[in-house]
Chains A and B, each alone.
Chain A
Amino acid sequence: MYNEFFDREKLKYCYQCGKCSSGCDINRIDVSFQPHRLLHLISIGAADNLMEDAGLWKCTTCFTCSERCPQGIKVTEILWIARTIAVKAGHIPELLITQKDILLRTGRLIPMDNKKRGKAGLTAIQEESSVVARIFEIVEKEK
């Protein structure tokens, strides 16, 4: 399903200038995180090497790399897609398992706390609890 979002043609325009990595604040703190390396591996069809790479989950999705890419490549978007591929291959961070579970049950990332809202003088909000579950059901049916 990720193919819709994956502009493979555009990826060919990457000439490994490294601007994405040099302007990345995560790279500044942890040099092992290098967006340009990620693009390289994906473009040569070696994305499998990335699946267990903890680096995939170090990106904050701040979009600085995408904004600065001289070739107009949506670097952040590609990293995001790499994550979904990793997840599909079973490499799921603990956090995501918990989050998905909450989303499927409540339709929200953070379950509603209407008692707390009431105390603050805010009206109660009903959860659209089954929406996410229904969406996942229909998406997963296609696979």
Chain B
Amino acid sequence: MRYAFYLGCATPVKALKYEISTRNLAKILGIELVDIPEFSCCGFPVKSMDSFAALLMAARNLAIAEEKGMDIIGVCTGCMAILSEAKEYLEDEKLRDKVNEKLKAIGAKEYTGRVKVKHFARFLYEDYRLDRIRDKIVTPLASLEFGIHYGCHYMKPTHAHGHFDDPSNPFTIDGLINITGAKTINYPNKNLCCGLTIMGTAEDISFRLAAEKLEYLSSRGVDAMVVACPSCCIAYENNQKLVGKRVGKEFNLPVLYFTQVIGLAMGLSEKDLGFEFNRIKADKITEKFK
């Protein structure tokens, strides 16, 4: 099981706990994540400036993995959506030829459409499969209860992602967390966007969106929010104090990556799961399952 590891821009700088826990979890599951130094930004931030340039960036990354004969596994929902969308657009032969002509001009490889793109959580759910994960659980997290935040781009647009999860009632990450023995709640604003993409252009709306979910999950008394995207984590964890201030509340809700939760159940150490980088300390959880 060898895959091209698509880290993206945010994770290797802003989400070290995500990268560390993903690498160590993959290791004990026997999944080889190969670093590809040639990968660049996926194209997402460029899409508002020039959609064709964004498509070229995505296509270039896809072509690199293709040439190396590996499918892509990524950890950022935004990257996965942009790469999957690009794959869908490039099913159009005319557009693909045009893109390849440009890729050639910048000395990049040709894109043919063979490569598959999956978020690590989706890969674990669909390909690695829950029963094999269950076999590796050494510390069931039976007493814990989480609220999952999927992140919009994890499964949307559904046509680009091959309809693998249900945007109105998502279940794949719940499945992964439930297999550890932990409970997950269904809650009214489960599908609400984190708002991070507009933090720089409409900050007030962005913070109010983030506050709604933080407020609800805090009131339900879950042990933590569980996320699968570095951007969502920035919105809910890095910004938690700022967001609280905006709405006159004080939040103290730990935000964990799904990889940290699964890793904990597999007996990985706090250090191997990057818990030192959790800004809202999750000691109550880690101490229980050391």
A22 contacts chain B at the CB level, 8 A cutoff: no
**A-B contacts at CB below 8 angstroms, number:** 162
Is B152 a contact partner of A62 (Cβ separation < 8 A)? yes
List, in ascending order, chain B residues with CB within 8 A of A64's CB: 152, 156, 167, 191, 193
Is A93 a contact partner of B41 (Cβ separation < 8 A)? no
Q: Which residues of chain A in 121-136 are interfacial with respect to chain B, using CB atoms and an 8 Å cutoff?
A: 121-123, 125-126, 128, 131-132, 134-136
If over half of A's interface residues share one DSSP class (helix, strand or loop), that class is named, otherwise mixed; here it is: helix
**Interface residue stretch chosen among A10-18, A34-42, A44-52, A103-111:** A103-111
Q: What 0/1 readout, one digit per residue, does chain B (66-104) give for beta carbons within 8 Å of chain A?
A: 000000000000000000000001000001000000100
List, in ascending order, chain B residues with CB within 8 A of A134's CB: 106
B28 contacts chain A at the CB level, 8 A cutoff: no
Please tell me which one of the listed residues B10, B14, B152 contacts residue A61 in the complex, with CB atoms under 8 A apart: B152
Is A58 a contact partner of B41 (Cβ separation < 8 A)? no
Is A135 a contact partner of B10 (Cβ separation < 8 A)? no
A67 contacts chain B at the CB level, 8 A cutoff: yes
Please tell me which one of the listed residues A60, A120, A123, A132 contacts residue B195 in the complex, with CB atoms under 8 A apart: A60
On chain A, the number of residues with a Cβ less than 8 Å from chain B's Cβ atoms is 56
Q: Which residues of chain A in 58-107 are interfacial with respect to chain B, using CB atoms and an 8 Å cutoff?
A: 58-64, 66-67, 74, 76, 80-81, 83-84, 87, 92-93, 95-96, 99-100, 103, 107
Which residue numbers of B lie inside 8 Å of A, CB to CB? Answer: 7, 9-10, 12-14, 16, 19-20, 35, 37-41, 44-53, 56-57, 60, 89, 95, 102, 105-106, 152-153, 156-158, 167-168, 191-198, 200-202, 205-206, 208-209, 274, 277
List, in ascending order, chain A residues with CB within 8 A of B16's CB: 116-117, 120, 122
Is A107 a contact partner of B41 (Cβ separation < 8 A)? yes
Q: How far is the CA of A60 from the CA of B47 in the complex (A)?
A: 13
List, in ascending order, chain B residues with CB within 8 A of A1's CB: 50-52
Is B49 a contact partner of A81 (Cβ separation < 8 A)? no
Pairs across A and B, CB under 8 Å, 28 listed: A5-B51, A26-B198, A26-B205, A29-B209, A57-B201, A58-B201, A60-B198, A62-B152, A62-B156, A63-B152, A63-B156, A64-B167, A66-B157, A67-B156, A81-B51, A84-B48, A99-B45, A110-B9, A110-B14, A112-B12, A120-B274, A120-B277, A125-B7, A125-B12, A132-B53, A135-B60, A139-B52, A139-B56
Please tell me which one of the listed residues B19, B38, B49, B158 contacts residue A96 in the complex, with CB atoms under 8 A apart: B49
